[in-house]
Chain A
Amino acid sequence: MGIIKVRDLVYEYIRRDEEGNVEGITTAVDDVDLDIEQGDFVAVLGHNGSGKSTLAKHLNAILYPSEGTVWVDGKDTKEEKYVWDIRQTAGMVFQNPDNQIIGQIVEEDVGFGPENMGVPTKEIWERVEESLKAVGMYQFRKFSPNKLSGGQKQRVSIAGVIAMHPKCIVLDEPTAMLDPKGRKEVLRAVRALNDVEHITVILITHYMEEVIYADKVYVMDQGKVAIQGTPREVFSEVEKLKELRLDVPQVTLLAYELAKEGLRMPKGVLTNREFREALDQCRR
């Protein structure tokens, strides 16, 4: 079994009125299966309301299935006795940089998780140092978080999660509130965690350029997985993605538009270099 296994997952939100009577049911996740291996970099895409965040919250037991099962590192998330193990195995980073930091000083915030796990003091500081170095924020360890930019705060949040030595980290639109530089910094940190530390990464995002580094992409629509595959396979389906209210990276779209005008450009072009090489072929 891989680090994450999801079978027949259904999650229903029950809408109630002021008196608590049931008004209606929204099926946010509708019969989803997932298999994620340790070390994978997985991207989850989907329009707002597609169920991607709801799905993500099952992966570290913030939500429990209405039906179906979620296993994290072989442990069923419905079993209460495994909750803390699961939350140490799969850490989560959210969208708003200001909502996740509680320490007065960066290194205190990063140490909070391990401290609560009962890690011995000396080891806490070792973990704080290695985590901050892994995200490139070690020189800011004595700073107040108030002095940091959005991208820096998000990196501190990521450091706080990896100080728990998780096998897997789930990031729910971590760059949505950041400027281009901040987005680049966070993505670089996330890729390094996957490439170097072999931490499994599950990235939920709207930014198509962030997806090209993933091993596997799941595209959600109305609670179901509509498309899955490698980034190249998924981005080849330009029209289908538009129907799903999504987009493709500019370089992919440009190649697609040129192909429509008669140039022999392949589908699913992911990088500027691939684009130029494909155009070289047309030049011949």
Chain B
Amino acid sequence: MPIILDKVSHIYGEDTAMAVRALDNISLVIPDGQFIGLIGHTGSGKSTLVQHLNGLMKATSGAVYFNGEDIDSEGFDKKKLRSKVGLVFQYPEHQLFETDVFSDVCFGPKNLGLTKKEAELRAYAALKLVGLEDAYFYQSPFDLSGGQKRRVAIAGVLAMKPEVLVLDEPTAGLDPKGRDEILDQIAALKRETGITVLLVSHSMEDVAKYVDRIIVMNKGRVMYDDEPREVFKQYHELEAVGLAAPQVTYIMKELREHGYDVGDEVTTIEEAKQEILAYFRER
């Protein structure tokens, strides 16, 4: 179920003195099964963009197509769209409200009109997908750690069985291990179910490690749309718009400037290690 954005613009406060063009003529295709990273400085339009993917926001011009259908056309079921395109906002644990974890995850499926049994089966499967142990299912969500709460919130979205999962800064506020755990879990989920994942992040290192494709936003426009190795080669341009390349990319640059014949397409520690070892083997 690919999503297509066709010349989408979004102007906040159109016809007022304070109009802001948050999205400027964006055309994008999100095919099935990709793992995409969306990066951009604060105010670049990332959050506005992702809220167009599930119809939470409406484009002021242009169109959004889900599996070939215009989502703003007569008779299009937006409620159904929201269960197909699951959106996890930043600090999703702020959405938790039930007295126990299991009930909270059941909430979404119940609202889809599923029977109690079906909702419970969905909730159980979703909690297993995020790696939460059974022992926590009947505890209050507020007694869990930050990372655990976050996983419960993500399970709540997964219980809707989305085909596309959009996560806005899923690692914000987590400790290093917590960050690794959540991202590993999401990568595993993608491998096991083939779900399309769009990850909005400020961590270049996280994005480089997990995604197939990076979309860089700047002032409401798409600045780059390519593989990580190609995007991070442009570190000067990225820095000019308030971003950066992963630290490892800069380490390799330092080496090249001092006579080491190593590649300029390194974006992860593993790649750096292999490049450097190869360099020493060839001497």
A residues near B, CB below 8 A? Answer: 46-49, 95, 149-151, 173, 176-182, 206, 208-209, 242, 245-247, 249-251, 253-254, 257-258, 261, 263, 272-273, 275-276, 279-280, 282-283
Contacts and interface: CB of A to CB of B under 8 A. Distances in A.
Contact of B276 (A181, A279, A280): A279
B139 interface: no
B247 interface: yes
B273 A257 contact: yes
B244 A180 contact: yes
Interface stretch (B49-57, B184-192, B248-256): B248-256
Contacts of A250: 205, 246-248, 251, 269
Contacts of B283: 283
Contacts, number: 100
A179 B255 CA distance: 27
B205 A246 contact: no
B41 A254 contact: no
A261 B279 CA distance: 13
B43 interface: yes
A211 to B, nearest CB: 12
30 contacts: A47-B177, A48-B146, A48-B174, A95-B173, A149-B42, A177-B173, A178-B42, A178-B202, A179-B41, A179-B242, A179-B243, A180-B202, A180-B243, A180-B244, A181-B243, A182-B42, A245-B177, A246-B175, A246-B176, A250-B246, A250-B248, A254-B273, A254-B276, A261-B277, A263-B277, A272-B250, A276-B251, A279-B276, A280-B258, A283-B283
Contacts of B251: 250-251, 254, 272, 275-276
Residue from B172, B244, B246, B283 whose CB has the most chain A CB atoms within 10 Å? B244
A150 B42 contact: yes
Interface residues of B, number: 35
Given A179-B242, A180-B202, A276-B254, A245 B272 contact: no
Contacts of B172: 176-177
Contact of B272 (A179, A254, A282): A254
Given A181-B41, A250-B247, A276 B242 contact: no
Contacts of B247: 209, 249-251
A254 B269 contact: yes
Interface of B: 41-43, 145-147, 172-178, 202, 204-205, 242-244, 246-248, 250-251, 254-255, 258, 260, 269, 272-273, 276-277, 280, 283
Contacts of B255: 276, 279
A257 B274 CA distance: 10
B269 A47 contact: no
Given A254-B251, A279-B260, 15 more contacts: A149-B42, A173-B173, A180-B243, A181-B243, A208-B176, A209-B247, A247-B177, A250-B251, A254-B269, A254-B272, A261-B277, A275-B251, A276-B254, A279-B255, A279-B276
Contacts of A280: 258
B177 A246 contact: yes
